Amino acid sequence: MPELPEVETVRRGLEPAMVGARFTKVDQRRADLRFPFPPRFPARLAGARVEALSRRAKYLVADLSTGESLIMHLGMTGRFTVEHAHGVITPGEFHYAPGTMPLHDHVVFDFDTGARVTYNDVRRFGYMDLVPSTGLAACKHFAGLGIEPLGNALSGETLAALFRGKIAPLKAALLDQRLIAGLGNIYVCEALHRAGLHPEAPAGIVATRTGRPRASAHRLAQEIRAVLNEAVAAGGSTLRDFAHADGSLGYFQHGFKVYDREGEPCAAPGCSGIVERIVQSGRSTFYCARCQPR
């Protein structure tokens, strides 16, 4: 499943091909992906110019000159290929092996610049929708989503306010999409390790009784941002090198300090701990008991 940094990498790969370009033809090859396409999908896109391409949590959002926004979610195996005069790229492909079967090319966008953007999705958990650009925040996809972890909203103060009094484990609170949107298992494990916080500690420990941030809240906010930014930067490297790489693996996953490293020595400088694995809410948590004491 693509995590937020990968979606951001995909956004950066699509941006030069899509923004400022006008859809000339949309080839929709199925009635649905995970959900049905919106009615008259190709006709509503044809002729529209892409004004901006942004990201909200793990959604890509293309604002169109028609007053609608095209919302795209990659699901588990969705990916885009961009073909233009300079060659072919598949941005952001650093967690899963490429499936190059044209059978799974479900949507093809042609632009007036000559660029072609193809959406391929083997398992079809991805989806696309068109919603009015005004009131985007209230649309069914975004209503109820928590704060953006790479945005300015994430700080020690907001974490303290969100987690104050909560007895749910820190890991669970960080994965709660209603509080923080788009933060996945890998980056939560890494951020907690870097912040020196035990994944099973109650979330409320980062706040005082009155909801003020403790030092740990500031540290956690800073490490969430850092771990995501580093992953985006690594995705960018993959993107630049993509023409020469096989594309099946990126770099950042080799940089994990605890994730998927059960039984291996902790990678923190000077730490002699061993990475342990526990299961929380049915998902693996990796942590170092020395770096992250209870």
Question: Among all residues, which ones are annotated catalytic?
Answer: 2-3, 58, 283
CB-nearest residue to Zn ion: 266
Residues 6+ away with beta carbon under 8 Å from 152: none
The yes or no reply on residue 288 touching Zn ion (CB under 5 A) is yes
User: What single letter denotes the amino acid at residue 43?
Assistant: A
Does 20 help bind Zn ion (rule: CB under 5 A)? Answer: no
Q: Is the separation of the CB atoms in 29 and 107 below 8 Å?
A: yes
* Shortest CB 190 distance to Zn ion, Å: 12
Least Å distance, CB 232 to Zn ion, is 25
CB nearer Zn ion, residue 18 or residue 291 = 291
192 or 291: CB nearest Zn ion: 291
Least distance in angstroms from the C-beta of 28 to Zn ion? 50
Segment contacting Zn ion by CB under 5 A, of 37-45, 182-190, 224-232, 263-271:
263-271
Among 273, 274, 276, 283, binds Zn ion (CB under 5 A): 273
CB of 290 to Zn ion, least distance (A): 4
Is residue 290 at the binding interface for Zn ion, with CB under 5 A as the rule? yes
**Among the residue ranges 32-40, 50-58, 90-98, 261-269, the one whose residues contact Zn ion (CB under 5 A):** 261-269
Q: Give, to the nearest 10 degrees, the angle between helix 4-18 and helix 215-240.
A: 50
Contact between 266 and Zn ion per CB under 5 A: yes
Helix residue spans in the chain (DSSP H): 4-18, 41-45, 156-163, 170-175, 185-195, 215-240
Indicate the residue among 147 and 192 with the shorter CB distance to Zn ion.
192
Q: Which residues of 115-141 are buried (b: 16+ CB within 10 A; e: fewer)?
A: bbbbbbbbebbbbbbbbebeebeeeeb
H-run or E-run covering 24: strand 23-28
Written as six digits, the tokens of 248 are: 């099946």
Q: Could you say whether residue 268 binds Zn ion (CB under 5 A)?
A: yes
- Tell me whether residue 45 or residue 197 sits nearer to Zn ion (CB atom): 197
Q: Which of 148, 271, 280, 283 binds Zn ion (CB under 5 A)?
A: 271
What tokens does 265 get?
């020595």
Q: Is residue 16 a contact residue for Zn ion (CB under 5 A)?
A: no
Task: Return d(Cα 2, Cα 79) in angstroms, integer.
Answer: 9
Per CB under 5 A, does 202 bind Zn ion? no
Instruction: Decide: is 232 part of the binding site for Zn ion (CB under 5 A).
Output: no
- Give whichever of 93 and 190 is closer to Zn ion, judged by the CB atom: 190
- Residue with Cβ nearer Zn ion (234 or 258): 258
What are the Cα distances from residue 176, in Å, to 191, 193, 203? Answer: 15, 18, 11
Whether the Cβ atoms of residue 14 and residue 80 lie closer than 8 Å to each other = yes
What is the DSSP annotation of 200-259?
Answer: TSBGGGGB-TTSPBPHHHHHHHHHHHHHHHHHHHHHHHHHHTGGGS-SS--SGGGG-SST
Residues making contact with Zn ion (CB under 5 A): 266, 268, 271, 273, 288, 290-291
